[in-house]
Structure 1
Amino acid sequence: MYTALRLQRTLKQELRQGTVEIVVVDPEPYMTYQPFLPEAAAGSISPRHVVVPLRRVLPHCTVVIGEVTEIDHEKRKATIATLAAEHAGAGALTVAYDELVLAPGSVSRTLPVPGLADIGIGFKTVEEAIGLRNHVLEQLDIASSTRDPAIRDAALTFVFVGGGYAGVEALAELEDMARYAVRYYHNVGPEDMKWVLVEATDRILPEVGPDMGGYTVRELRARNIDVRLETRLESCEKRIVRLSDGSRFPARTLVWTAGVKPHPIVAASKLPLTDHGRLKCTAALQVDGVEHAWAAGDAAAVPDLTAPPPATPDAPRAVCAPNAQHAVRQTKVLAENLTAALRGGEIHNYAHKYVGSVASLGLHKGVAQVYGRKFKGYPAWFMHRAYHLSRVPTFNRKARILAEWILAGLFKREIVSLGSLENPRAEFELAAGTGRHNETS
C-alpha cells in the first residue's frame, strides 16, 4: 500500500495520460497497521481505525480483492483467486504485468505441537485481535458463572507463547484490560487470573536490548505474570498445557506469537530465495538476478548497508530485519527506483540505520531504546504512542486515533464482549430451525 501510495504521486503524469496502470492485489480491502493491534484488542482503539481502506487512499490505482496463487514471471502473468471465484463460481483472474512488486509480508510460523491447531489463537490480523478480546472477556463470564473449580481455573488461565513484540504487547495490554474488567465481577479478582508468557530463549523483546528486556521481565513479574524463559510448549491437547519445564495445567486460552515466516506466495513465485525462504534482493530492492521484479518488507532479504561488513569475503552480508521500521522506509526508495526505471533514470540503494525500538506494556507503561538511550515507564509509553501515531498512514486515521486516546483518558474503559459478531447468523439460524421444528410437530 505504501509503495502504491507513493507511485500515485511520482507517476501522476503517466497516470493522467493513461500510459501507466497500477494494480494492487490483496485478500483484504484494507491495510492493517499491526503495531496498534494490541491496543485494539484492549479496547483503547476502535478496530476500524487500525485499518486503512485501500480504495480510499489509492483512488488512482486498480484495487483487486483476491489472492495471488501463481506467478509466471517469464510470461509476466499473475493468477488471482478473486472473491467472485470463491463465492460465485467464476474462474480465476489472470493479470498481465510489466513490473512486479512483491510485498506480501509474513504469516504466523507454527510448529507441530499437539493440540495447537485445535485451540491456538494467532495475533496477526485485526479479526484475531478483536476475537481474542471477546474471548478473554468471555472467559471472565464463564469463570463468574460457574462453581466448578476446574472450569474456573481453566477459564482464568491465559497462556501466550512467544516473547517478541506481538506476544509481550498483546499479553500486557490484555492483562491490563482484564485487571480493570474484573472490578465489575462480584466473584472474580485480579489474583484469581493466571497469565503465563512462554519464551524458548533466555530473554524477551531482544529488539530493545538486554537491559530493557530484563526490566520488562521484572515489570511483568511484578504484575504477577508468570514469565517462563528457556521454556517450550510441548502440548496443549484437550486444553491441557504441557511445558518443557515439566509443568502441566488446564487453560482455555492459548495465544501463539512465536515468530513469523514469509508468505507462501513467495515460494510459489519461483524467484530466487534465501535459506530462510525470503526473496533474495539487491540493495536497490530488485530481486537479485531477475529483471522487472522488486520486493520490500518482511518477505524481502535486503542487504543492510549500514551493518558492519562480514568478517570474511565468503560470509553472507547482514540483511535488514523484518520489521515495520525498515519496510515503510523501503517503500519510498522502491517507488522512486521503480519510477526511475520506467523513465530511464538512475536507481539508488536503500540504506537506513536502525534507530531503536519502542514497546507498550499496558496503559502508561512501556520500554524503549532510541539512539542508544533507554527509557521505561510513562516516557517510553508516550514515545510508543507518539512514534506510531506519526507512522500510521493518512491524516484521517491519525486524527481519529488521537481523538479516541483523548476520549479514553476522560471516560472509563468499555469491557463489553461482542463475541456474537464472529457468527452473526447464529441467532437467526436458531430461530429458523426452531420454526421448522414447530411446523413439523
Structure 2
Amino acid sequence: MSTTERPRILVVGGGYVGLYAAKRILKKMRYGEATVTVVDPRSYMTYQPFLPEVAAGSISPRHVVVPLRRVLPKAEVLTGRVTSIDQDRKVAVVTPLVGEAYELPFDYLVIALGAISRTFPIPGLAEQGIGMKGVEEGIGLRNHVLEQLDKAESTTDENVRRKALTFVFVGGGFAGAETIGEVEDMARDAAKYYSTIKREDMRFILVDAADKILPEVGPKLGAWGKEHLESRGIEIYLNTSMDSCVDGHVVLKNGLEVDSNTIVWTAGVKPNPALARYGLPLGPRGHVDCAPTLQVQGTDYIWAAGDNAQVPDMALRKAGVENAWCPPNAQHALRQAKVLGDNVISGMRGFPQKDYEHHNKGAVAGLGLHKGVAMLVFGKMKIKLKGRLAWYMHRGYHGMAMPTWNRKIRVFADWTLGMFLKREVVSLGALETPREEFYEAAKPAPAPAAATAPAEKAKAS
C-alpha cells in the first residue's frame, strides 16, 4: 500500500460496479488528481451471467474472470476486506488476507460490495447446498455433477445410484433456470460415454416458491421456458419450497421426498451483510439507501450502486410507477457504474451531480445449447423471441457486455471451438483437494509392530 498526499477515492468491492466505476474514474481523472484504491478479498472480478455456461463446460472458467490489477494498472488494488468505516474521521479498517488489520484514510467512498446468496434456516442446507455466485462454485458444480455420473457407473447399489443421478435445483429465476438448463444439457451429452447410464436414469427437479419461472422475461416467455424445460424431462414444482435436505434427503413443501447428492441453491440474492457495519442508511431489505444521483442519502462524499444499493428507477417513476427501484442485474450495474464514476469526478471538482436514469432494454436467458428466451424493448414496443434466435441474442448481448476485449475474444473463441469440437465431459474433482495424493505419498509410514514392542515393554516396566 502506498502513501499519498493526494485525495483518495476508496472503492469497496471489485465486482462489476467496482471495476467499471474505478475504470471510469481513472479515465476521467486528470494526472495526479487523486489516488484510486480498490479493496476486495479476490484479485479478480467474475462475470456472473456466464456461470451457468462455466458449469456446463461451454466457457473456460479463466475466461469469465477479469484480473483487477491488469485492468486497473493505475489503481491501488488491495486484497482484503473493509471491515468497518468511521465516517467522522473518514477512515476505513482494512483486514488483509494475512497480517494485522490497518486503517486506511479516504476522501471519497464508493460502496460496491454486491450481493450474496439469500438463504433460509433450512436443516441441511449449509452442509449440502451448492451456490452459484462465484466461479469457484461454477467449477465445483460441473465437477460434482460429472463425479455423480462416475459414482453411478461404478456401483450396483440401486439406492446409491438413484441418489447420485438425482439433481435438485431450488430457485426459478435467471440463475436457477439457466443453470439447470445448461447442466441438464451437459449431463445428457456426458451420458453418451457411460455404458450403464442413460438420460432416462437421471432425475432433474426445479423448485420455486413463486407461481412461475423466469419472471424477468414476462409471463408468456416464462411459461414457454417452463414448457421447454419440462419437454426435456425436467420436473418443475411451483408454489412450493424445500423444508429440509439433511444428508441429501430432500423434503419439499408439497410432500415430495427424494434423495439427492446434488442440491443447487439459486433462490435469489441479498445485499452483503457487511454493509450493516458501515454505519450507512439502509433500506428495508438491507440495501444502501441512495438518491437518484447514486449518492448515499445524507452524504456528499459516498456513492453506491449495483446489487448492494437501493436506487430509484427514475424512468419508471416518471412513467407514474411509484416506489420503483432498479432491479439487481448486469444491465443496470454497468450503466450505474459509469454514472457513478462521472459523479465522483464531478463531486471532487465541485460540479453538480447527474441523476441515473435508464430505460429497460429487455432481458435474455439461455436454457442450454441453442435454446433460450429473449424480450427486447424498443420504446413502447416489445419483441419476444424464443428458441435458437433468442439463444443467439443471449450470447451476443452477454458476450459484448463481458469486460475487456481480451476476455470478449476468449469467450467468443470458446464458443467458436464449441461449434466444431465436442464438449469436454471429464470431472476434475481432485482440483478441490490437490495435495491429497502427495500427502499420502509423503506422510511418514507407521512404525512396524515389532519395532514398537521393546518401547512398550519398557514403558510397562
How high is the TM-score relative to the length of structure 1?
Answer: 0.95
State the shift of 1:73 in Å. 1.5
Quick one: which of 160, 182, 189 aligns to 1:180? 189
Aligned residue type for 2:117: S
- Separation in structure 1 between the aligned mates of residue 161 and residue 247 of structure 2, nearest angstrom: 16
Report whether the alignment pairs 1:76 with 2:99: no
- Separation in structure 2 between the aligned mates of residue 308 and residue 110 of structure 1, nearest angstrom: 31
Quick one: which of 406, 420, 424 aligns to 1:410? 420
- Separation in structure 1 between the aligned mates of residue 131 and residue 247 of structure 2, nearest angstrom: 18
Q: Deviations over 1:155-189 (max 9, x none)?
A: 00000000011111111101000000000000000
- Separation in structure 2 between the aligned mates of residue 234 and residue 211 of structure 1, nearest angstrom: 29
CA contact (8 A) 1:358 1:380 kept: yes
Structure-2 residue corresponding to 1:365: 371
Q: Deviations over 1:31-58 (max 9, x none)?
A: 0000011111111110000000000000
State the shift of 1:437 in Å. 2.2
Q: Please provide the CA RMSD for this pair.
A: 1.4
Structure-2 residue corresponding to 1:392: 402
State the shift of 1:291 in Å. 2.5
Aligned residue type for 2:427: S
Quick one: which of 23, 27, 33 aligns to 2:37? 23
Q: Deviations over 1:383-403 (max 9, x none)?
A: 000000111111111111111
- Secondary structure, aligned partner of 1:270: coil
Structure-2 residue corresponding to 1:10: 28
- Separation in structure 2 between the aligned mates of residue 367 and residue 10 of structure 1, nearest angstrom: 37
Quick one: which of 423, 428, 431 aligns to 2:433? 423
- Separation in structure 2 between the aligned mates of residue 168 and residue 66 of structure 1, nearest angstrom: 33
Aligned residue type for 2:41: P
Q: 1:316-395 residue pairs with structure 2 within 5 A? A: 317-371=323-377, 372-395=382-405
State the shift of 1:343 in Å. 1.4
State the shift of 1:308 in Å. 3.7
CA contact (8 A) 2:91 2:105 kept: yes
- Separation in structure 2 between the aligned mates of residue 439 and residue 266 of structure 1, nearest angstrom: 57
Structure-2 residue corresponding to 1:49: 63
- Separation in structure 2 between the aligned mates of residue 7 and residue 238 of structure 1, nearest angstrom: 49
Q: How many residues align?
A: 428
State the shift of 1:93 in Å. 2.3
**Structure 1: 5+ residue stretches without partners:** 85-89
Structure-2 residue corresponding to 1:58: 72
CA contact (8 A) 1:310 1:317 kept: no
- Residues 310 and 354 of structure 1: CA distance in aligned 2, closer, same or farther (over 3 Å): closer
Aligned residue type for 2:116: V
CA contact (8 A) 1:2 1:331 kept: yes
State the shift of 1:432 in Å. 2.2
- Secondary structure, aligned partner of 2:299: coil
- Separation in structure 2 between the aligned mates of residue 324 and residue 402 of structure 1, nearest angstrom: 19
Moved more, 138-147 or 74-83: 74-83
Structure-2 residue corresponding to 1:138: 147
Structure 1 ranges of 4+ moved more than 3 A: 308-311, 438-441
- Secondary structure, aligned partner of 1:163: coil
CA contact (8 A) 2:112 2:305 kept: yes
- Separation in structure 2 between the aligned mates of residue 439 and residue 147 of structure 1, nearest angstrom: 37
- Residues 96 and 150 of structure 1: CA distance in aligned 2, closer, same or farther (over 3 Å): same
Quick one: which of 82, 92, 96 aligns to 2:101? 92
- Separation in structure 2 between the aligned mates of residue 346 and residue 270 of structure 1, nearest angstrom: 25
CA contact (8 A) 2:301 2:347 kept: no
- Secondary structure, aligned partner of 1:230: coil
- Separation in structure 2 between the aligned mates of residue 93 and residue 439 of structure 1, nearest angstrom: 52
- Separation in structure 2 between the aligned mates of residue 21 and residue 83 of structure 1, nearest angstrom: 22
- Separation in structure 2 between the aligned mates of residue 102 and residue 221 of structure 1, nearest angstrom: 41
- Separation in structure 2 between the aligned mates of residue 437 and residue 378 of structure 1, nearest angstrom: 61
State the shift of 1:316 in Å. 6.0
Q: Deviations over 1:313-336 (max 9, x none)?
A: xx9621111111111100111111
**Structure 2: 5+ residue stretches without partners:** 1-18, 452-461
CA contact (8 A) 2:249 2:259 kept: yes
- Secondary structure, aligned partner of 1:348: coil
How high is the TM-score relative to the length of structure 2?
Answer: 0.91
Structure-2 residue corresponding to 1:260: 269
Structure-2 residue corresponding to 1:87: none
- Separation in structure 2 between the aligned mates of residue 38 and residue 439 of structure 1, nearest angstrom: 51
- Separation in structure 1 between the aligned mates of residue 170 and residue 54 of structure 2, nearest angstrom: 20
State the shift of 1:102 in Å. 0.1
Aligned residue type for 1:399: I
Larger Cα-atom Rg: 2
